[in-house]
Every structure is written in structure tokens, then in C-alpha cells.
Chain A
Amino acid sequence: MTYLAKPKFHHPALPKNALGFTHRDYEGSISTLCAGCGHDSISSAIIQACFELNIEPHRLAKLSGIGCSSKTPDYLLGQSHGFNSVHGRMPSVLTGANLANKELIYLGVSGDGDSASIGLGQFMHCVRRAVNMLYITENNGVYGLTKGQFSATADKGSKSKSGGANNDSPLDLVGLALLIGATFVARSFSGDKGQLVPLIMAGLSHPGPAFIDIISPCVAFNNHPGSTKSFDFVRAHNEAVNRLDYMDPREPITVDYEPGSVTEVTLHDGSMLRLSKLHPEYDPHDRIGAMTYMQQRAAAGEVVTGLIYMDPAPRDMHAALNTVDVPLNRLGEKELCPGSAALEKINASLR
């Protein structure tokens, strides 16, 4: 985008969150992506979400694979540790990091090239294993860094910039996440910050495997007529099933809603999601129903967005592993080494 660094200087009137951090404290390095890239909007939504959630930046770890999307963790949360790993293998690295310290918040940032091809196995297995994280795919249906090849999420018949049509069936990451046990599943659009920010906030607060697929048009290689991942196409076919407001329990409720159109969902940390139903029949707590609905709307050519599924009883890998409450990376010799007396007993049993 720009190569002119913003001054470090903070305007004294810059709004602060409950922890005293300003928006600027959640920013990262300057983006090197193309001007107008959907990914930059997502970065800005993540920054907004963390600011509003009052997350201490150093209590979050951001991990990614390889590709345009995977570069973005460098452009946000500069005071968080980040790990730009290898192509498609962020899920295993994130799993390991989470095993080491279950107290941090884990944000996995990936793309369709990273997660739907080489990384498909790892994506599915880390969801299956119920790693507590928010996993985001910045989905543009195209390989940007290598200049415009189709990715595995490109729709069949979708046209490339050079005019060729995609012959292969698309992989639906939302459908897969529902199938293999993600306990929070959403889809959004980089061009709809109003929808995206609360979804990210809810996803970060969800104590289990949370997944958001974000359609994020590639302005350089996949934003032309004939593409199904362009700004125009997604705007025209976006079918939001609900709108979400993330409510801090400490804030007074100021907006009035039409009775009956709103459901409130209390989250584990006491905060609340206010869900405005746009489709009265859609129930985001019904996993099987969600899968059917997604298939039906996809067949009709629509891109369903919003909170697609949330399990009221999230799963977490650590519960299944029955790990101690203290993060494993804080245990020392005293807790871990059985000592010489125990070893003598073992020796005796081996004679």
C-alpha cells in the first residue's frame, strides 16, 4: 500500500479501551499488499476487534502459513508474538503452541491457497482435534503471489483474469469445518466491516475451535467480471443470515430492537452476542440444519454470510488431554523430573 510509515506519535485525544490502549497499540508493520486488497480490510477488522475486546496484545499469538494472507499477521498486533511458518502447516504449529501454553489467545491466519490445498489435511485435523483458536481464511479463490492461478476454492466455471474457466469443483471450507467439529463457524466478506468485526470478536472469545471464512477479493488477479470472488459479485450475491452485535456486559444497552427479531447469546466470558435474524427460519445452533442450508443456498448461487453455527458447549483439546491448569511451559524440574529415588525403583524392576 504505502511505504510511508505513520508517525509513532499518538494523538492525546485518541480513544482508549478499558486497558488504556489506543487503536494504534494494536497496529503492526506497514502492509506490503496491493492497494485495495481485501486482506488489509481484514487486518483492520482484527485490530478493531482486539481493541474492542480489550485484549492485551502480548496475550495473543498470531500464526500463519505462506502466501499473501499469511503475510498479514506482520501488519497487525505488532506487540504480539507472531509465527510465519511453512505453507499449509500453520495448524500443526498453532496446535503445538497451544499445547505449550493454553492461557494465550491463538489467532491463525491463512488463505485459500494455504488451507484448501497443501494445508487441507492440517486444517481439518486441527479443527477435528478441537484446538482452542480462531482460524481465519482470507479467501480470494486465487494464488496472488504467483500471479493469478486458480486456488481450490475457486468456483467451477469462474473465469481467471486471462480468461480461462476453472474446471474443478470448489472446496467449501465452511462446509468442511461444520462437518469435522468446529464449534464456531462463520463466513463474512472483507467489504463488510460491520458484519466482520463482531464475528471476529465472537470468534476470539469462543473457547474452542472457531473458524471464519472471509471472502476477500484479490484486486490484482481476481476482481474482474466472470469471477465469483470479486467485490461486485460478492456484494450482489451476499446472503447474510444474521447480523451480529458483540455486547460487552459492562456497557449499557443503547440500541432498541424490534421484539422477536433478536436473540441474545451469553458467551463463556460473560459477554454477549446479540444476533439479529435476517432469515427468521435460520437457527445457528443447528449444525445439521446449517449444513443443509449452506448446500441449498450455494446451489442457488448465493454466498451465505453471518454466524453459521455456534455450539453452546465448545470443545477444547486440553480438556480431552486432561492437562494440568498451569501452562505446560511454566513447569520446571520440580514438577517434571521424577528424581533419583523413582529411577532406582525403575532400575530394580528391570533386573
Chain B
Amino acid sequence: MTTTLDIRAYHLRLPDTARPVLAGVDLTVDARETVALVGESGSGKSLTSRSVLGLLPHGATTGGTVEVDGEDVLTMTPDRLRRLRTSTAAMIFQDPRAAINPLRRIGDFLTESLRLNAGTGARAATDRAVEMLEAVGLSAAVLRRHPGQLSGGMLQRVMIAAALMGDPALILADEPTTALDVTTQAEVVALLGDLRERFGTGLLFVTHDLGLAAAISDRVYVMYAGRIAETGPAAALFERPRHPYTAALLNSTPRPDAPQGRLAAIEGRPPGLREDLTGCSFAARCPLATYLCSQQAPELLPVAGEPARRTACHHTDRIGTRGGADA
């Protein structure tokens, strides 16, 4: 199996912060694989996915490598980056209405990138746009519409069609269903799954919803304060978390089939960027934390007996099943 995206020891530092925003992220996506990157706001999940397209915040300094199809994005020339964004990797944003110019027709939006960056002729580009619209379940008539005439769900399909225009090897979806209704979410997720099968692309699905991540992906990465807390096959991770943060996140999510009453909330809040971190970034909120946790940051190491899983916790053996942290 070929690896489409390979991020290794990726560091990202912003000016005026006490700690790196991303502190050694390791993440891979294979061809035809769906990988979910889960975290709360400020965890660095969106920064990670944007880095794959070379979209770095102003003044950022980086370390490590972010390889797409074997080429490091961090050292690419602007010209090469543009080609990467046109034809190798594509991104689907959270709010389709904010990501499409409301004054242009859908047809212009879809064909623009191919015509300007890949030099495709207008005719060929339009043919491709029609093909992609049909792939996402929309008719060619949409080409002449304006964004304001389409519903949120339809617009997100247009976004997906746009992402497929350059026949990318990798699709980055940054909270693509958060702005949509729950029933529409299922439709968009089903579509993404079908297209991944059909076109053989890798999919990195960035979300805050652990339930959604477990439901749709092959593997999950859980991120906290700029580090990977835990990674592994979706079902196993959901069934038996090996990091206290994952366990706590699962327990604090209200579920329709759980009994009424208080939730096991995680007290406190994630560390800010102005605070320097020594030791484990979750230690301050963790029921299992010991002196060791406050002194030494745990490494992301394989879980005993489960080679596909890795976790960054000193006390992973003390985490129970499904009930999370037995503290």
C-alpha cells in the first residue's frame, strides 16, 4: 500500500507563544484510507491539515517533514505548491458558503483552478466539471446557478466536486459536516466514502466529533494541545480508549442512548499558547496524573498487545474499559 500523506516529527511555532503550537506530530494516510483527526478547538488539528497544503499562518516556523506523495511540502517553491494544490491535494472547508464567491456562477468556480493553473482548455474543464458534478449527485444545470440558489448540503457537494476536479491523491476535509444538519451530514459522509472508493484517494477527515470519527474512519488520531495523544483503529479506540483524554472525551459526550443525568465533564480547560508546558499537556486535567506526568512528557508508544495502536500516556495500563479513567 502506498502512503499518500506522511507527516513526521512536525513542529510549528508561532511568534509570541510560549510553546510550539504543534509539538512533534506524526501522522500517515494511505491511498484509499480514511483517517480522522480529532481534537477540540485550539488542539492544532486544523493547523495540521492546512499545513499539508502549505497554508501556514504568518510568521510560523516549522520543523520536521510533511510529505505528500513523497515530496516535502515545507520545502516546496511557490510554483510547486500551486501545482500541489491544483492536482495532488485538495481541501473541503467547514462552511461552503464562506468558501465560494457568492457573485460567481458554480461553473466558473469549478473550472477556474484547472483553467488558470493547469492550463486546461475551457471546453475540457467544463466537461470535467459536469463529470464531477454527476459524481457527487448533482446535474449539469447547477453549473449556471449562483451559490445563493443552492442549499447548504448541495453547496457542500459542489465543494467536494471542486476538490475532485484535479484528480487529487489526497482530500483534506476540515469539519466538512459541522455546518450541516445531522441528516445531511450522513449524506455527505456517504458520498465522501463512495468517492474515495471510486477514485482511490486518501481522506484526512478533521473533526471535533469523536463519535463521527469512529463511525466513518479506518484509523483515528486524537490530538490535544498540539500533540497526538492516541492513535489506532477506529473501532478499538472507541471501544477501549488507551489515553485518559480519549476516555474523558467519550464520557463527556452526551448520547441519546445514555441515561439522563450529570455527565462526566473534564474540569478545567486546555492549556493556552502563552503557557509553557513541561510534562504531559493533559496532566492538569487528568484524574490519573502523578508527579511523573508533570515532569516528563510521555512519548507516543505502541500499546502492549495491540501493535496497531499507540498512546502517549505514562499510565495507559490504569485506564479501564469504556468507563474511562478509573480514578
A-B interaction: no
**A-side interface residues toward B, CB under 8 Å?**
none
